[in-house]
A = this chain, B = another copy of it.
């Protein structure tokens, strides 16, 4: 059974709270709602033309995803990031990806490998100009999602989905601070990921683990040096 109902248009009977969740997530990831911003249920409900029920549900889900922060009787805010968060996220990511590639070596099917290669294929067909940091990062997250799917490990996949949202969110923030992250990163992306598919196909578990560890560590280094710290209003008093 497919872990994720791949977004192929069929849009199957989505429920209102799903729509709200996705819209809100996009708004947060794209920074239409800036970090720290207050989200009032009534206001959002009015704005989206739905009642409070689905809004509450969406906010709770995004809280679980780490994109918003809910405090009792105080409501929800868009989450914000500092370097502690980066450290946490990438250390989790290392641990999870190592486990993922381990399981993928055992469980990956032909179609799993094909899905991963398909993403590499899409990348290779992009023109130089299309290889924007944003687009490549989107493909990057998609590739790693395919890797996690190949592990066939339900709980691992769900945990990754949470992490992915957070990575996605602060990556966009990082780009907005520094548009030219990509000098060394982008040309390397394709070859770097081809290795993943190969070691999985050949079931070279140890080499796979090393590969993925190095990969994530380089990712962290890249992000950390470019991440511009943002004052985190965790417990700040709101000034009017």
Please give, as numbers and ranges, the residues of chain B lying within 8 Å of A1 by CB-CB distance.
235, 237
User: How many chain copies does the complex carry?
Assistant: 2
Contact bitstring A205-240, B, C-beta under 8 A = 1, else 0: 000000000000000000000000000000101000
Segment at the interface with B among A29-37, A128-136, A142-150, A154-162: A154-162
B155 touches A66 (CB 8 A): yes
By the criterion of a CB under 8 Å from any partner CB, how many residues of chain A are at the interface? 27
Tell me which residues across on chain B come within 8 A of A13, comparing CB atoms: 72
Tell me whether A15 and B153 are in contact in the complex, defined as CB-CB below 8 angstroms, given that A96-B95, A103-B91 are known contacts: no
In the complex, which of the residues B57, B66, B237 contacts A60, with contact meaning CB atoms closer than 8 Å?
B57
Which of B88, B96, B237 is close to A153, meaning CB atoms less than 8 Å apart? Answer: B88
Q: How far is the CB of A202 from chain B (nearest CB, A)?
A: 22
**Docked pose: A60 CA to B17 CA in angstroms:** 12
Closest to A57 in B: B60
Counting CB contacts under 8 A, is A99 at the interface?
Answer: yes
Chain B residues in 8 Å Cβ range of A237: 1
Contact of A156 among B56, B72, B88, B155 (CB under 8 A): B88
- Min Cβ gap A53→B in Å is 8
Q: How far is the CA of A92 from the CA of B99 in the complex (A)?
A: 8
CA distance A165 to B125 in the complex (A): 46
Given A1-B235, A60-B57, CB of A92 within 8 Å of CB of B159: yes
Set of chain B residues within 8 Å of A88, measured between Cβ atoms: 153-156
- Cβ–Cβ < 8 Å partners of A76 in chain B: none
Interface residues of A in 1-34 (CB under 8 A from B): 1, 13, 15
* Cβ contacts A to B, 13 pairs, < 8 Å: A1-B235, A13-B72, A66-B155, A88-B153, A88-B156, A91-B99, A91-B103, A91-B153, A91-B156, A92-B155, A92-B156, A92-B159, A95-B98
